[in-house]
Chain A
Amino acid sequence: MGKRVGMEVSIAAAEAVKQANVDVISAYPITPQTHVVEHLSELVANGELDAEFFCVESEHSALSVCVGSEATGARSFTCTSSQGLALMSEITYIASALRLPIVMIIANRALSAPISIWNDHSDVMSIRDCGWIQFFAENGQDVYDHVFIAYRLAEDRNVLLPAIINMDGFTLSHVIEPIEFIEQEKIDRFLPPYQPVHRLHPDRPVSMGGIALPPIFTETKKAHEVALQGSMPKILETWKAFGDMTGRYYQPVETYKAEDAETIMVIMGSFGETASAAVDLMREEGRSVGLAKIRLWRPFPFEAFKQATLHAKQLVVIDRAISIGGPGGPVASEVKAALYGEPIRPVVYNFVAGLGGRDVSPSDFIKMVDKAEIEIEEGNREGYEIYGVRE
């Protein structure tokens, strides 16, 4: 067993990046990502981490530097939030299409306008289709653990894709949590040095990032799609290996008291612990309510999701981002798509909640379940609303 330490989650995340023995860190400061990269810059400055820390002039450059360094075979890390991710978005597509296993933590924050430094998932949803593996962390331990999981997986020769760890801004990034640290020898065994398949090296020159004309562009996208879809068995294998090492086993969709539940709430990220508390309160009243937490957002775990939820009468999907002018929240869209082919499927009721840092407490989750159950009972099969708006 590793040491259990009370620590701010951002600092623990930075310590994990250090333990992952990265070669290059490139970042531009933005709230609420700052503590992660400030701590890393300290570790490099103090000589505790032998890595290059690039202070760049924008997030576009931050990820561009990682693309370059990763292309030479250097293990690279960056971290951002909100507007920073928006500015970086162009390069996110390039990093994945070039199959460069960069790991990035996003301290999720709302996109402007109006300016909000607080949490929601609109930043990462803006790059939903960028072709990276994407995890959502429920708590600080998840963030810490997934740094190692993400690198091992991303660098696997059968995967070779960059990975994002979503960490809710402030709700996770700035809270102090008990974190169980893993001994360095174990990490070194779990995460061997990166062995790239192709890299920029003068002894064997290659070109990366060339042009693809119409006769071949579609083939490149197919290859990328198959790589991301095909990473699923490796993801499961990596989580299993991590679980065998630490006792902490992760799943693409994790459930809480959902096995026999008639109503299942569906969430991503730090909603998980609060929603679990709401489940307990409702269970005490004898209500048949459970929870499904989507940990893996890309590749979307269609099979695992169906297994976890198909038996329910209704799903209450609580999104932390809004698709304005679209079908509601992005998670609900995916959930509906996952269930569409099933002859018998639960009714989906969608709330968008917790935008721009608004707290969602256990009683809010209970109110959402109440509302959804009543609406569905009355025959509303396409419910969608923004929760808690003052009229």
Chain B
Amino acid sequence: MTKPDSEWKWKELPEGTVMLEPGNADQYRTGDWKTLKPVLNKELCIHCGLCYIFCPDSSYNLDAEGYFIVNLFYCKGCGICAKECPTGAITMVVEEEEK
């Protein structure tokens, strides 16, 4: 949606609450659900991509050097990537309060 849910008035909603703008879920921040965030140790990473495959939020993106980097705007902190990483390159750490 073009603005946050909390700003929509009922009269402005399209009939049937149809979403007219495709792909608007990328504006939805799921990142503020987490208490733990994944931290990558690049030295242990073998570039297998399992974190990328298993992440239920598609939070990982491949960077130019071949590392999978988490986007904390979406990461819910479930820990699946850390669990699935075959070399233990990902550690879940307590996320500090952002101001």
Q: Which A residues contact B (CB, under 8 angstroms)? A: 97-100, 160, 197-198, 205-208, 210, 212-213, 215-216, 219-220, 222-223, 226-227
Contacts and interface: CB of A to CB of B under 8 A. Distances in A.
Contacts of B22: 205-207
**Which interface residue of A99, A100, A219, A226 has the most chain B CB atoms within 10 A?**
A219
B6 A216 contact: yes
Contacts of B20: 198, 206
B10 A226 contact: yes
Interface of B: 4-6, 8-11, 13-20, 22
B16 A208 contact: yes
Nearest to B15: A99
B8 A98 contact: no
A220 B13 contact: yes
A92 to B, nearest CB: 14
A289 to B, nearest CB: 45
A165 B14 CA distance: 27
Contacts of B18: 98, 198, 206-208
B19 A99 contact: no
Given A213-B5, A216-B8, A219-B8, A206 B19 contact: yes
Given A160-B16, A219-B10, A220-B17, 19 more contacts: A97-B16, A98-B17, A99-B15, A99-B16, A197-B15, A198-B20, A207-B22, A208-B16, A210-B19, A213-B5, A215-B6, A216-B5, A216-B6, A219-B8, A220-B10, A223-B10, A223-B11, A223-B17, A226-B10
A198 B10 contact: no
**Which interface residue of A208, A220, A223 has the most chain B CB atoms within 10 A?**
A223
27 contacts: A97-B16, A98-B16, A98-B17, A160-B15, A160-B16, A197-B15, A198-B16, A198-B18, A198-B20, A205-B22, A206-B19, A207-B19, A213-B5, A215-B4, A215-B6, A216-B6, A216-B8, A219-B8, A219-B9, A219-B13, A220-B10, A220-B13, A220-B17, A222-B10, A223-B11, A226-B10, A227-B15
A136 to B, nearest CB: 26
A42 to B, nearest CB: 34
A217 to B, nearest CB: 9
Nearest to B28: A213
Nearest to A160: B15
Contacts of A222: 10
A207 B9 CA distance: 20
A220 B13 CA distance: 7
B35 to A, nearest CB: 20
In the A-B complex, the 6 residue pairs with the smallest Cβ-Cβ separation, listed nearest first, are A99-B16, A207-B19, A215-B6, A219-B10, A216-B5, A215-B5
B26 to A, nearest CB: 13
A189 to B, nearest CB: 26
Contacts of A98: 16-18
A198 B14 contact: yes
A108 B89 CA distance: 63
Contacts of A216: 5-6, 8, 13
B17 A210 contact: yes
A97 B17 contact: yes
Contacts of B10: 219-220, 222-223, 226
A197 B15 CA distance: 8
A84 B46 CA distance: 56
A144 to B, nearest CB: 29
Contacts of A212: 5, 17
Contacts of A215: 4-6
Nearest to B9: A219
**Which interface residue of B4, B5, B9, B16 has the most chain A CB atoms within 10 A?**
B16
